[in-house]
Amino acid sequence: MKKIEQNKKLKIQSIQKAARELFHSNGFIGTSMDKIAGQAGVTKQTVYRYFESKETLFKSVLEAQRLQATNGFLEALNQEDATKALNAFAIGFIERHLSREHMANIRLLVSEGPMVPEITRAFYAVGPSRTQAHLARFFKDRFNIDDAQYEIEVFLSILLSMRMTVLTGLVEPPSQETIRQHSARAVKTIMKLLEI
């Protein structure tokens, strides 16, 4: 990689890191491009050179988080056995959605999403839409269901049912064994719904 390209990449990463930290600590509304530039150690013009708006930067931060996180739960859907594939997906999905970084994003969306709907749209474009598309393909290929939107929503809702108590601090994050058991029950429930 040429030095110019490497410097550009490092600046972008620095801006994204600063933005992520500030979004999580100050919120989207309370974070200005000036603050991001200051924390990243660059000028505001440099931030705008790479990101045309705060919304674009927010989406970029989410995309960077997605790429850094393990997306093994989507790859798990490629396993030959459908039940094993759904179980592996479920475990990875829950682990990702209970991660500290993901929970910080959810807190931000809950507190500011109604006032700044563009951050909610960005969040859904980067994560949930992609996951639902993978699941729709899986249900079509494995179970010959052309429109599995309802089944997907039920399945994901069951998987995420433990998130609210963790999000609000009512309970500690669940153990691996609890996640495994919850995943197995969710898969069993969706298989019954599909009558498989």
Q: What is the pLDDT along the chain (196 residues), one digit of tens a residue?
A: 688 888 889 999 999 999 999 999 999 999 999 999 999 999 999 999 999 999 999 999 998 888 777 667 999 999 999 999 999 999 999 999 999 999 999 999 999 999 999 999 999 888 888 899 999 999 999 999 999 999 999 999 999 999 999 999 899 999 999 999 999 999 999 999 888 5
Q: Which domain holds residue 13?
A: 3-60
CATH code of the domain covering residue 174: 1.10.357
Indicate whether 54 and 88 sit together in one domain: no
- pTM value? 0.85
Indicate whether 41 and 90 sit together in one domain: no
Indicate whether 180 and 86 sit together in one domain: yes
Indicate whether 111 and 163 sit together in one domain: yes
The residue type of 115 is M
For residue 75, the model assigns a pLDDT of: 92
Identify the domain boundary among 60, 88, 107.
60
CATH code of the domain covering residue 13: 1.10.10.60
- Domains in the chain, number: 2
DSSP annotation of 160 reads G
Using alpha carbons only, give the angle 39, 168, 33 rounded to the nearest 5 degrees: 20
Q: Tokens standing for 46? A: 């440099």
Indicate whether 101 and 26 sit together in one domain: no
Indicate whether 73 and 34 sit together in one domain: no
Indicate whether 76 and 140 sit together in one domain: yes
Burial class of residue 145 in the structure, from the number of CB atoms within 10 Å of its CB (0-12 exposed, 13-18 middle, 19+ buried) = middle
Indicate whether 184 and 92 sit together in one domain: yes
Indicate whether 132 and 55 sit together in one domain: no
Indicate whether 176 and 96 sit together in one domain: yes
Indicate whether 41 and 104 sit together in one domain: no
